[in-house]
Every structure is written in C-alpha cells, then in structure tokens.
Amino acid sequence: MSCLTERSIHNAGGNMTRPSGVKPNRLFQTSTMAALLDAVYDGEMTLGELVQHGDFGLGTFDALDGEMIVTEGEVRQFRSEGIASGTTADMKTPFACVTYFEPEKTVTIDKPMGKEEFEELVNGLIDNPNLFGAVRFTGEFEKVDTRTVFCQHKPYPGMLEVVAKQPTFRMGEISGVMLGFRTPPYMQGINVAGYHLHVLSDDRKHGGHVTDYRVKSGKLEVARISDLEISLPKTEDFAKADLQPAGLHEAIRTAEGG
Ligand SMILES: [Zn+2]
C-alpha cells in the first residue's frame, strides 16, 4: 500500500440492502485492535468486501491512512485535518467494525450533555455490561474533538508512536452523526474496551475519531450486539505480531484515547 495524495471524491459502498442470511446488529470485524497497536497496518479485506457485512461502522485504512466512518452504506475517509476524501471499493482495511444497525431503542436528547453523561445514558439503555452495543447520535453538538491518523511508511512505527504525533482538532457547534460501538471490558485487545465513536458532519466534509464531545440535542439510537464475526488476517505481519504485550490495556487507552 502506498500513500496516495489525491483521490477523486467517490465513496465505496452505497448498497444498504442487508444480504439474506446476515442478521441485523451482528458485529463483523477485521483483525484485532492489538494487531493494529503492533503496527499490522496492512489488511487483506477490501472496502467492497467490508460493506457486504454492514452499512454502519468505523475503522482505518491500509498504512493507517486516516479514519474511516461507514454510514448509510457509504465508506468515508478522513485524512489529515479531518477532511473527507474519497474511497474506492478496492482500497483495503487493516481494522474495521461494521454491522447492519437496527436500533432497538431511540430516545430524544433535549439538553446538553458531555461524554460521561452520554455514556451513562447509553449504558442504561443497553442495560447489559457484557454485550457489545451499537450507538448512533444524530443531531447538534456543542463541540467535538477528533483525532486523525495519517499514512505511514514502512518500516511501520508502532501505533503509540504514531498517535503521540497526531494533532487533535476541535469542531465547534456542528450538526452531524456520531456512531460506533461499546465493547465489553473482557474484549480489550480484540476490540477497544469501552466506547469507540467516529463522527461525520452534516456537510459530509469533516470528521474523524472522537476523543471528546458535548452533544446539544438530537436523536440517540442504540442496539445490543450479541453476535460477532471476526476475520483474522492470514498475512505474515499478523503471524509475527505480538498480540499479548505487557501493558496492552493502558496502550489501547492511550492509542484510542478518551
Ligand atoms: Zn477510531
């Protein structure tokens, strides 16, 4: 994978039809968070394949080339400064999580709340700490802080080294969609324990990996996830990766921040 500088604005996916045989609210993920942390930045799965497994989700791209959001079946990429650039079906991902999201509960948020209060609200709605949850908030924000990773060159540095150099960006009052997953603590390393959310502005031009936020008003939708499918890479990099390093939990908290 090389680091391209320009791509036409086109988004892989766009097919929102759930294939027969695929349940709603079933999590499909490629590789593991621990592998990403150990610099396994090149995956085997194309975006074209990924969107067969879900129309909603998040992830990153080969060579750690930006943050991914999948919404309404379309895959968008945020590269430097959280600006959207196009994706094509043949691009690949080293880590992504998608589902066909069907909300089980919907609530209206009509008073501002920060991240902690928002997470407590979602925890109450999911009401089971040992299941995954899918979360989508659509509405107005008072602020959203994001981070965006950028394209790496081989030999790849570890993710902690990459993240230490990443600037964060603050979007002030915006409207948009923030979505992602809550992962139970025992899944740390397979995925990111706790909340992992990405955001996309209504103008579809800005977004990224969310580190902090304050929502103002809007619609919150959640669903429990009890079915998982994990596709592990058969690559040499994955074979050689150390997936149980000392300090894994702290490393993921630092890398995925928030
Ligand atoms: Zn992320």
How far does residue 57's CA lie from ligand 1's centre (Å)?
A: 10
The one-character DSSP state at 39 is T
Q: Which residue has the higher pLDDT, 161 or 105?
A: 105
Distance 204 CA to ligand 1 centre (A): 17
pLDDT for the residue numbered 1: 53
pLDDT score, position 8: 52
CA of 58 to the centre of ligand 1 (A): 7
CA 256 / ligand 1 centre spacing (Å): 6
Distance 109 CA to ligand 1 centre (A): 24
176 CB-contact burial (10 Å; exposed 0-12 / middle 13-18 / buried 19+):
buried
Give the mean pLDDT of the chain. 92
The protein residues having their C-beta less than 5 angstroms from ligand 1 (an ion) are 209
Ligand 1 centroid distance, CA of 232 (Å) = 19
Taking the centre of ligand 1 as the mean of its atom positions, its distance from the CA of residue 68, in whole angstroms, is 8
7-35 confidence digits (pLDDT tens):
555 678 765 688 888 899 999 999 999 99
207-231 mean pLDDT: 97
Residue of 248 and 92 predicted with greater confidence: 92
CATH of domain 26-256: 3.30.1330.80
Distance 88 CA to ligand 1 centre (A): 20
Domain ranges of the chain: 26-256
For 198-217, the three-class secondary structure string (H helix, E strand, C coil) is: EEEECCCCEEEEEEEEEEEE
Distance 210 CA to ligand 1 centre (A): 7
Distance 180 CA to ligand 1 centre (A): 9
Compute the distance from residue 192 Cα to the ligand 1 centre, in Å: 9
Instruction: Name the residue among 200, 182, 83, 192 with its Cα closest to residue 144.
Output: 200
Q: What is the DSSP letter of 94?
A: S
The string of pLDDT tens digits covering residues 86-103 is 899 999 999 999 999 999
% of residues, the chain, pLDDT over 90 = 76
How many angstroms separate the CA atoms of 160 and 111, rounded? 36
The rounded distance, in Å, linking the Cα atoms of 107 and 110 is 10
Which tens digits make up the pLDDT trace of 34-69?
A: 999 999 999 999 999 999 999 999 999 999 999 999
What's the CA-to-centroid distance between 208 and ligand 1, angstroms?
A: 7
CA distance 74 to 20: 19
- Rounded CA-CA distance 123/121 in Å is 5
**What is the β-pairing status of strands 45-46 and 26-30?**
unpaired
Q: How much is the average pLDDT of 62-81? A: 92
pLDDT reported for residue 166: 82
Distance 72 CA to ligand 1 centre (A): 18
Look up residue 82 and give its DSSP letter.
Answer: G
pLDDT of residue 168 exceeding 90, the answer is no
Q: Span 1-9, mean pLDDT?
A: 57
- What are the structure tokens assigned to 93, written together? 């991902």
